[in-house]
Structure 1
Amino acid sequence: MSQTLLIKDIRIFDGENEIPSGSVLVENGLVKQVSRGSLNAPDASTVVISKPGHTLIPGIIDGHIHAHIDEQNTVLGQALKFGVTTVCDMHQEVENLAELRSRALNDPNSADFKTASQSATVSGGWPTAIITAHDKSEETLARVATWPDLKNRADVEAFIRDRVEDKADYIKLMHEDGNGLSVKPNLPSLELQKDIIDVAHQNGLLTVAHATSLQGTLQILRLGIDGLTHTFCDQPPTQEVIDAYLANNAHCNPTLVAIASLTTEGQREQERYSNDPRASKFLNSQGKQNLCKCMALANDESKVEYAYQTVRKLKAAGIDIIMGSDSAGPALGTAFGLSAHQELATLVAKCDFTPKEALIAGTSLVAKRLRLKDRGRIAEGLRADLVLIEGNPLEDIDRTLDIRGVWKQGTLCSTYSGLAA
């Protein structure tokens, strides 16, 4: 169990509001008290950290990643170093769940892990297209062949039962029609997708869907999906899609960095982040190489500007935008943990977000929309997932990379063990 911890003389962004100068007391891995002004340590054993000129924010939640297991703990370990205390996996092999959950639960240097488990796939559908575009090994093809091939209501009911047994945190649908892409995967029928959403809802599960075209987004919204895990890049936004989001009270997780990699328009920014000394120290050579490459799966019609336009219009209409990076091993142009910071900066630079609004999208709002009720804010009784930043990211979102301390449930990540009191 973590020690009692008092962080004082710091600016606090609690996930919703700013406290210009305050203190946070942590006991037993939870936030015990948040105070304007100074607090006294409850006893002599309390670890006291005073950091004027610094800002304490909730642990960042990446609402869209795809994890894998390796000896270097590249996913959960790297994410935590970058202040991402929770990752939300959106498609995972069932046999990996126990190991990933064990690392998240037992390793204080690993981010917490939420997952859809296996997504609702059909033969020849998404994400087979993107995976096999980069990896055609016999091992990968054999693994893809084991994924569900949903055909009817009975298949759907069995699939949802399996996800309940897996203790999935939400259900992920795939609705990629290939419009705007250089690949054309098989698309599940609308009847099948409606069955998945309905059966998931009957079991109390949240539903989110992949779609990167305007047409696909409209189709899946009209079936009652709770949220989109991307925005689209094949056409400019229309009032029709804004109305469909509003009618459904659906959220959007636009994954703008991944879309810019898809269209190859993001390479310059990817290289800039890879070479930023605040980031590069946490990336291995392969990670740097992958970050500097692009997925390049879009056709000539697609533009990342369409995605930016859509997010601006959705935001103006009052639709919830949450942060997720779509970081994945085969997803060139992304890096676990780091791409979450780039996504926050992109919301500010391209989509009319203030730094505060971007931080909300990456903390309290993503927690609310993905039903993570015990995190996302610095508030009494919630998990003490905390990030200490030198400077003020509420004025300059780039400062989120100036990390000086990361705590998961009140335990300091060992990367920052040299933090001076």
Structure 2
Amino acid sequence: MVQTVIRNVLLFDGRTAREGATVIFNSESGLIESVSTTSVSPSSYPAGATVIDGRGHTLLPGLIDAHIHSYGLHLPPGSDIAGVLKGPLKCGVTTVCCMHSDSENVWDHQKRLKTELDAARKAGETGTVTMSSLKSAHLGATIDGGWPVPIVMANHPTEEVSTTPPKDDTSSDFPQLKVAISKWPKLTAETAADFVADHKKRGADYIKLMQENCCSLAFPTNSIPVATLELQTAVVDAAHKHGLKVLGHATAIENTEIILKSGADGLAHTFIDQAPTKAIISLYREKNAFVVPTLVVLTSLTGEEQTLREKFADIASSKGLIDSTQKENMLASLKAPAEGASIEHAYESIRQLKAAGIDIAAGTDSVAGLQGTAIGPSLWQELWMYVEKCGFSVQEALHSATEVSARRLGFDDRGTVEVGKRADLLLVKGNVLDGLENLWEGDGVINVWKAGIRAA
């Protein structure tokens, strides 16, 4: 029994909503076979198919978190790294996009994912999956001593915050962090092309730039080396020659401007240092760039919106998505803003970018163990902020977490409910378009499928 029929359901296909839909998908191929909004006779259903009556439910594409990190540098010793990908699937997040992690970490995750998917298909009707799909930039285009050394080391204070230690250094209390940092690229404009070619061979799905001088953060401005426009342009040009999209980290307007001028496809954050200017909105339009707001991590950085952290930590805990340690972490915040930095600047930037027709792709910058975040539940919080703080309709928020993210990141096989697309789907009790809270209140997400296979 490899086919599933969901009938009489309210369908949000990633773009628009339609009532009384019937969707048929196949767990063997992992693909959607049929989508209809007209009456379909049960006699035409595939023989032996599992039939689910979707009355009173909403069917959506699997959600995509367009900015997370899959490493375990913030996890307590002995933690299960596989858990990084288990939490989000229960929330309906079928794909997570890592924006900086070493290749060994990515390959380990992908090996587990393949093993699990193969076993689930072999098991047939009883097969289930537990982990979200992983896309990754592998390591970002870092420079010697540059970002993200400060934020990675912030939870593990030493006197050597921005040093690059030898690989065999075990003298610090946090040797695993220092060893990880020692492996990061130390790019120059001359080595940019080789970096991109190597990452393409490693299986990178896109390239991540780092543009941070700490002017919006509670670190001394220009206390770390900062990438030049020449370097960022060299990386972007090389990536585009290899058919790879490029996103750039920036949390301030001046750094956002550099990323946009480099020709990058999008920004991996919005900015918090000041209100948006007409010039930056115009530059976004000129470059046809998109933005992944990551409001969740920005509120953690500024230490604002504690009530929202409490709200979603309670939701995640009550639904068994996080344990007590993870809840404590989700309730905490980084509290590292520069003077004048504010989440209101971020909200206003997204309001104005949305009004200007700029694509908004939903993402959180969640990391397992990073204060104020939890991969999975944080995307619910992110979408809630789009609606409550940035003027999105529920449909627009869900669009940002499905079709927009898939299209702008170049994932042609997912993000919409269409024939031939991956059967990454979630079934929610109630009409989600009437209230985003239906994702988590009451029964909430009652079924998730990844490539046509039901989540455990």
TM-score (norm 1): 0.95
Equivalent in 142, 158, 169 of residue 121 of structure 1? 142
Cα distance in 1 for partners of 2:57, 2:208 equals 38
Question: Are the aligned partners of 1:74 and 1:336 in contact in 2 as well (CA < 8 Å)?
Answer: no
Question: Are the aligned partners of 1:11 and 1:22 in contact in 2 as well (CA < 8 Å)?
Answer: yes
CA separation of 1:23 and 1:278: change in aligned 2, threshold 3 A: farther
For each residue in 1:255-296, what CA deviation from the matched residue of structure 2 results, as whole angstroms up to 9, or x when unmatched? 011101110002221111111267541112221111000011
Cα distance in 2 for partners of 1:24, 1:284 equals 35
For each residue in 1:339-381, what CA deviation from the matched residue of structure 2 results, as whole angstroms up to 9, or x when unmatched? 1111111100011110000000000110000000000000001
Paired residues, what number? 412
Q: Offset at 1:330?
A: 4.2
Equivalent residue for 2:35? 34
Secondary structure of residue in 1 paired with 2:432: coil
Moved more, 66-75 or 138-147: 66-75
Identity %: 38
Cα distance in 1 for partners of 2:324, 2:112 equals 23
CA separation of 1:190 and 1:405: change in aligned 2, threshold 3 A: same
Equivalent residue for 2:376? 337
Q: Does structure 1 residue 193 correspond to structure 2 residue 218?
A: no
Equivalent residue for 1:408? 450
Equivalent residue for 1:60? 63
Equivalent residue for 1:182? 218
Cα distance in 1 for partners of 2:253, 2:351 equals 15
| 1:22-421 mapped onto 2 (5 Å cutoff) | 22-27=21-26, 28-39=29-40, 40=42, 42-68=45-71, 70-71=79-80, 73-107=82-116, 108-136=129-157, 137-153=174-190, 155-183=191-219, 184-276=223-315, 280-401=319-440, 402-414=444-456
Structure 2 letter corresponding to 1:408:
K
Cα distance in 2 for partners of 1:35, 1:251 equals 31
Secondary structure of residue in 2 paired with 1:113: strand
Question: Are the aligned partners of 1:325 and 1:339 in contact in 2 as well (CA < 8 Å)?
Answer: yes
Cα distance in 1 for partners of 2:224, 2:435 equals 41
CA separation of 1:173 and 1:259: change in aligned 2, threshold 3 A: same
For each residue in 1:211-262, what CA deviation from the matched residue of structure 2 results, as whole angstroms up to 9, or x when unmatched? 0001110121112111000000000000010011011000010101110111
Question: Are the aligned partners of 2:8 and 2:19 in contact in 1 as well (CA < 8 Å)?
Answer: no
Question: Are the aligned partners of 2:326 and 2:369 in contact in 1 as well (CA < 8 Å)?
Answer: no
State the 4+ residue runs in structure 1 displaced beyond 6 angstroms: none
Secondary structure of residue in 2 paired with 1:276: helix
Q: Offset at 1:408?
A: 0.5
Q: Offset at 1:38?
A: 4.3
Equivalent residue for 2:121? none
> Superposition RMSD on alpha carbons, in Å?
1.5
Question: Are the aligned partners of 1:115 and 1:169 in contact in 2 as well (CA < 8 Å)?
Answer: yes
Q: Offset at 1:205?
A: 1.2
Question: Are the aligned partners of 1:279 and 1:338 in contact in 2 as well (CA < 8 Å)?
Answer: no
Question: Are the aligned partners of 1:134 and 1:330 in contact in 2 as well (CA < 8 Å)?
Answer: no
Structure 1 letter corresponding to 2:67:
H
Q: Offset at 1:37?
A: 4.1
Structure 1 letter corresponding to 2:449:
W
TM-score (norm 2): 0.88
Structure 2 letter corresponding to 1:166:
R
Cα distance in 1 for partners of 2:243, 2:38 equals 42
Q: Offset at 1:9?
A: 1.7
Secondary structure of residue in 2 paired with 1:356: helix
Q: Offset at 1:156?
A: 1.2
